[in-house]
Structure 1
């Protein structure tokens, strides 16, 4: 199981990324764009993901991935149960979500 501390370590190592607490939820942002958000109970993580690929990701692991809330369906967003993630997969999801929010020249500075 992935911990909040592990997510924080990856997210805060990324250029332009910072942590914010909004309504008792930990979120990681680039500017005003949230690319990772943890549930209040810290058992799930929402992350930026292309809408057009969302259904395929959820279908590939329905016990792991789940759709965003109805109000967030219009966004590029997916959620995952932290208990189903290992650290390498979490790192990949966080970095890919971050890449959606930064210019290519910035994202090219970070290796997976």
Structure 2
């Protein structure tokens, strides 16, 4: 079962990733001034990751034990919450974080690291 330590290790292994405290919780950014691609909730049991709104409804409907949103808080954002303990394994966690990183990474990082997330798209 994946843990908050696994989230931190995997997130920081992505190219250019940095950790920064925001809103009292750890966030992971695609580069020093970059956009947030993941955040770890206070309880270390849930992460928030980027996800297009049109895709998140499908994710939530297909796997509600893993994916959810906080009504009223996440409504207008392209984010989904993920229950870390409900994930199948670290490989699934890596695929989720890599996909979110690709959505947040600046073009320069994407061009330098086109391989990130590709294996999860082919699976």
TM-score w.r.t. structure 2 length? 0.81
CA distance in 2, matches of 1:42, 1:25: 10
Gaps spanning 5+ residues in structure 1: where? none
CA distance in 2, matches of 1:73, 1:106: 33
Q: Which residue of 2 aligns with 1:6?
A: 6
Task: Indicate the SS of the match to 2:91.
Answer: helix
Q: Number of aligned pairs?
A: 112
CA distance in 1, matches of 2:113, 2:52: 16
Q: Deviation of residue 43 (structure 1)?
A: 0.9
CA distance in 2, matches of 1:5, 1:83: 12
Cα pair distance change 1:40/1:107, threshold 3 Å: same
Q: Which residue of 2 aligns with 1:36?
A: 38
Asked if 1:16 corresponds to 2:16, the answer is: yes
Q: Deviation of residue 32 (structure 1)?
A: 4.0
Q: Deviation of residue 62 (structure 1)?
A: 0.9
Task: Indicate the SS of the match to 2:104.
Answer: coil
Cα pair distance change 1:73/1:10, threshold 3 Å: same
Moved over 4 A (4+): none
Q: Which residue of 1 aligns with 2:114?
A: 108
- Which deviations, in whole Å up to 9, do the C-alpha atoms of 1:38-81 show, x marking residues without a partner? 11011111101111111000011011110144233222100011
Gaps spanning 5+ residues in structure 2: where? none
Q: Deviation of residue 21 (structure 1)?
A: 1.4
Q: Which residue of 2 aligns with 1:82?
A: 84
TM-score w.r.t. structure 1 length? 0.88
